[in-house]
């Protein structure tokens, strides 16, 4: 009884003397991604009209309304400290201290661009953001590697000008922007050919992209226990093979390793693949060989093991990261695929990969800063954005901001969306290229050459059971699945797609490869495709061997064949161009003929999809002006020559392709 009486007295003392009174800040210390922040708080068992805020070196008062208050602050660079105190006639109380570390240096965002009047070029710097609202200075400079010197007038003005030299080529101009103690770099360029074109961030892509042949690398299985140092020695052979662009699957910190799409830190490299110095050596070596380097970036989700997720689970709504993740069904496109985990996070069909909340502007800033970080650090040449169809579904405007912020720094960067090239909106949103997928929303990654999804096999147009339907299926894929103007990433396989040769023989593989390399868009080869490596999707089996050349591992003749196709595409501009027309044939059920042309250069590409040899007639009357004149055809694959009128008749073996160069 005496003990109980003592407890009661203690409670009375606590209540009377205000020990239980407190100021609660609904925030936890965190790394944050916007300078402007709002911190909410409340008074517990305490009354006051105002609270005093200590923010870094400043002190100010905030009104209290029904025991609640909200503090608006603008963070300085680095670490910021905030705490709150309040007093009345009886008590004086202080909150816990919260530290906000700004995760980046907020720099001005400036859009550099050029306009022209004849040979007179005007350079403009349009300030889109000035985070700290400080005076800004500008300095324009001509790139030292320009085709000819260009003297800039008003170099220290947001508007400068120069006369474009007569020598053809790309003229690049750098813009240095100084805001207070901070410096930001931007660039734009002007191209002189037979005409003059000023680069447009919103609609243009750099010319090199039209000739790109991309080689996708999975570093962890490139060889057994793969590291960056296993890829670098093979770059000279990859260059000799004909590749001019490689894209590395995610190199950022990951929880489970493997292909690396479960990111746990966008600003750190995964240690199992090697050091930063080794990755830099890989990139430097590639660039010295004329190979451009793309990174694979994962903007849609992080691993559930990301520290931000753990913080959100631990502190709930008081966590700064609570709203970094999607927590509601927003009814957006593909929302029928949503799943909700036990912690309230939303995701699609990937367990433990939770969706980011793009309605939160801080998430946008975080992701953009990560992209800018690696662009500046390694001067990479582009990004492939994983599952960006999901980001665009929830925030269609994000791509435009991404495009502006990256291309204002490096205008000739390549932005590839893992999204449907059949939808022109992907390109209008700001991406340069997208996947050769159909517009079918019931099947996200519906490859236009695949008629059915099967995780164990690869059912395509080319092995469709009824060969008399293959011709029209292929025509639909080529001519009714979007346009040929926008850049389409063309592939036969990739990290998500089964090895093509696993479900098709060598002859069919060569036929389809010839077709792929003669179509508009950007051809992609997945590491091992060139030697017929046929492991299952997501296999951990090594692709190559560290002590053997890639060519030496090819036993089916595919390496030399792909190498020839790459060389032909490089040689003939009509095989890279955007012009494409369906030609009438006498056996349309299983033969497709495509007319490809660029200026005076003309090609007819024929693929025979059936299982028997046949005589094929192709009607060229609609595309050849001199119908009564004999034409000469050279199959650049075999060097065979043919003579014919505008009704071309030619013998086709089963499952073969012909690339016929036309000459008068």
pLDDT at 441 over 90: no
**pLDDT tier, 323 (very low <50, low <70, confident <90, very high otherwise):** very high
Candidate from 16-20, 25-29, 595-599 with smallest mean pLDDT: 16-20
* Mean pLDDT calculated for residue range 271-280: 98
Residue pair 388/419 in contact by the 8 Å Cβ criterion: yes
Give the pLDDT of residue 11.
Answer: 34
* Mean pLDDT calculated for residue range 324-348: 96
Q: Hey, CA dihedral for 215, 218, 221, 223, is it positive or negative? A: positive
In the chain, % of residues over pLDDT 90: 93
**pLDDT tier, 626 (very low <50, low <70, confident <90, very high otherwise):** low
* Mean pLDDT calculated for residue range 353-357: 98
Candidate from 19-33, 163-177, 289-303 with smallest mean pLDDT: 19-33
Residues in Cβ contact with 468 at an 8 Å cutoff, skipping those fewer than 6 apart: 589, 590, 610
**Nearest C-alpha neighbor of 490 from the set 433, 552, 566:** 433
CA 496 – CA 133 distance, rounded (Å)? 46
**pLDDT tier, 283 (very low <50, low <70, confident <90, very high otherwise):** very high
pLDDT at 248 over 80: yes
User: Long-range CB contacts (< 8 A, 24+ apart) of 154-159?
Assistant: 158/124, 158/125, 158/126, 158/127, 159/122, 159/123, 159/124, 159/125
* Mean pLDDT calculated for residue range 139-158: 97
Give the pLDDT of residue 457.
Answer: 86
pLDDT at 170 over 50: yes
Degrees, nearest 5: CA angle 173-174-179 = 145
pLDDT at 15 over 80: no
295 to each of 128, 191, 246, 298, how far by Cα in Å? 27, 27, 9, 10
- Tracing tokens 């190559």 back to the chain, one arrives at 544
**Nearest C-alpha neighbor of 40 from the set 84, 77, 101:** 84
What mean pLDDT value characterizes the chain? 95
The alpha carbon of 479 is separated from its chain's Cα centroid by a whole number of angstroms, namely 26
* Mean pLDDT calculated for residue range 632-644: 96
Give per-residue pLDDT as tens, 83-108.
999 999 889 999 999 999 999 999 99
**pLDDT tier, 628 (very low <50, low <70, confident <90, very high otherwise):** low
- Tracing tokens 């008590």 back to the chain, one arrives at 91
Give per-residue pLDDT as tens, 473-530.
999 999 999 999 999 999 999 999 999 999 999 999 999 999 999 999 999 999 999 9
Residue pair 294/247 in contact by the 8 Å Cβ criterion: yes
User: From start to end of 270-311, where are the E strands?
Assistant: 292-297, 301-303
Give the pLDDT of residue 12.
Answer: 36
**Nearest C-alpha neighbor of 266 from the set 419, 418, 369:** 369
Residues in Cβ contact with 527 at an 8 Å cutoff, skipping those fewer than 6 apart: 215, 216, 217, 218, 222, 533, 543, 544
pLDDT at 627 over 90: no
Task: Give the Cβ contact number of residue 414 at 10 Å.
Answer: 25
Strands 58-63 and 50-55: antiparallel
644 vs 365, more confident: 365
In the chain, % of residues over pLDDT 70: 97
DSSP assignments along 40-62, one per residue: EEEEES---SEEEEEETTEEEEE
The alpha carbon of 100 is separated from its chain's Cα centroid by a whole number of angstroms, namely 30
pTM, two decimals, is: 0.95
Give the pLDDT of residue 304.
Answer: 98
Give the pLDDT of residue 518.
Answer: 98
The torsion angle over the Cα atoms of residues 10, 14, 16 and 18, rounded to 10 degrees, is 170
CA 331 – CA 329 distance, rounded (Å)? 6
Give per-residue pLDDT as tens, 567-595.
999 999 999 999 999 999 999 999 999 99
CA 416 – CA 664 distance, rounded (Å)? 39
DSSP assignments along 470-512, one per residue: HHHHHHHHHHSSS-SSSEEEEES--TTS--GGGSS-HHHHHHH
CA 139 – CA 118 distance, rounded (Å)? 24
DSSP assignments along 564-604, one per residue: HHHHHHHH-GGGTSS-EEEE-BS-TTTEEEEEEEETTEEEE
CA 316 – CA 386 distance, rounded (Å)? 28
**pLDDT tier, 456 (very low <50, low <70, confident <90, very high otherwise):** confident
3-state secondary structure of 298: coil
Helix, strand, coil % over all residues of the chain, rounded to 5: 25, 35, 40
209 to each of 204, 249, 381, 412, 523, how far by Cα in Å? 11, 19, 10, 8, 11
């Amino acid at each position: 009884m005496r003990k109980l009486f003592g407890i009661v007295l203690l409670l009375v003392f606590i209540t009377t003397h205000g020990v239980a009174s407190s100021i609660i800040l609904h925030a936890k210390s965190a790394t944050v991604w916007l300078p402007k922040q709002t911190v909410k708080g409340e008074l517990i068992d305490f009354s006051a009209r105002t609270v005093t805020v200590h923010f870094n070196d400043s002190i100010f008062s905030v009104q209290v309304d029904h025991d609640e208050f909200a503090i608006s602050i603008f963070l300085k660079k680095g670490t910021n400290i905030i705490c709150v105190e309040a007093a009345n006639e009886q008590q004086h109380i202080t909150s816990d201290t919260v530290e906000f570390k700004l995760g980046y240096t907020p720099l001005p965002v400036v859009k550099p661009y050029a306009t022209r009047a004849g040979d007179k070029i005007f350079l403009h710097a349009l300030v889109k953001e000035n985070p700290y609202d400080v005076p800004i200075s500008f300095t324009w400079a001509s790139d030292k590697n320009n085709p000819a010197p260009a003297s800039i007038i008003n170099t220290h003005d947001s508007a400068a000008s120069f006369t474009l030299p007569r020598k053809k080529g790309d003229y690049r101009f750098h813009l240095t922007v100084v805001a207070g103690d901070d410096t930001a770099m931007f660039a734009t360029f002007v191209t002189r050919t037979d005409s003059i074109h000023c680069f447009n961030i919103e609609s243009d892509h750099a010319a090199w992209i039209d000739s790109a042949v991309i080689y996708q690398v999975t570093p962890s299985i490139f060889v057994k226990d793969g590291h960056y140092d296993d890829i670098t020695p093979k770059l000279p052979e990859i260059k000799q093979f004909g590749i001019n662009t490689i894209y590395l699957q995610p190199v950022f910190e990951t929880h489970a390793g493997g292909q690396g799409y479960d990111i746990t830190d966008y600003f750190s490299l995964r240690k199992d693949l090697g050091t930063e110095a080794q990755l830099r050596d890989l990139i430097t070596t590639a660039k010295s060989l004329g190979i451009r380097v793309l990174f694979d970036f994962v903007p849609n989700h992080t691993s559930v093991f990301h520290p931000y997720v753990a913080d959100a689970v631990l502190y709930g709504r008081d966590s700064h990261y609570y709203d970094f993740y999607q927590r509601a069904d927003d009814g957006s496109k593909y929302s029928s695929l949503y799943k909700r985990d036990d912690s309230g996070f939303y995701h699609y069909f990937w367990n433990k990969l939770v969706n980011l909340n793009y309605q939160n502007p801080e998430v946008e800033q975080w992701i953009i800063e990560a992209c800018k970080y690696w662009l500046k650090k390694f001067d990479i040449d582009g990004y492939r954005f994983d599952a960006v169809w999901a980001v665009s579904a929830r925030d269609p405007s994000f791509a435009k901001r991404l495009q502006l912020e990256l291309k204002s720094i490096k205008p000739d960067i390549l932005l590839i969306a893992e999204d449907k090239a059949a939808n022109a909106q992907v390109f209008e949103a700001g991406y340069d290229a997208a996947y050769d997928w159909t517009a079918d929303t019931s099947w996200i990654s519906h490859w236009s050459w695949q008629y059915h999804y099967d995780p164990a096999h690869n059912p395509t147009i080319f092995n469709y059971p009824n060969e008399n339907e293959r011709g029209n299926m292929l025509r639909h894929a080529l001519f009714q699945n979007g346009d040929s103007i926008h850049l389409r990433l063309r592939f036969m396989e990739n990290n998500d797609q089964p090895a093509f040769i696993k479900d098709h023989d060598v002859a069919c593989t060569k036929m389809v490869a010839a077709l792929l390399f003669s179509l508009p868009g950007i051809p992609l080869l997945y590491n091992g495709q060139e030697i017929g490596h046929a492991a299952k999707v997501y296999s951990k089996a090594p692709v190559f061997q560290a002590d053997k050349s890639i060519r030496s591992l090819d036993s089916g003749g595919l390496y030399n064949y792909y190498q020839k196709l790459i060389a032909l595409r490089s040689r003939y501009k009509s095989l890279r161009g955007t012009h494409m027309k369906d030609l009438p044939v006498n056996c349309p059920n299983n033969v497709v003929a495509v007319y490809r042309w660029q200026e005076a250069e003309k090609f007819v590409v024929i693929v025979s999809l059936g299982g028997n040899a046949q005589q094929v007639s192709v009607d060229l009357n609609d595309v050849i002006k001199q119908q009564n004149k004999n034409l000469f055809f050279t199959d650049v694959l075999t060097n065979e020559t043919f003579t014919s009128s505008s009704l071309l008749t030619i013998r086709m073996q089963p499952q073969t392709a012909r690339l016929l160069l036309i000459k008068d």
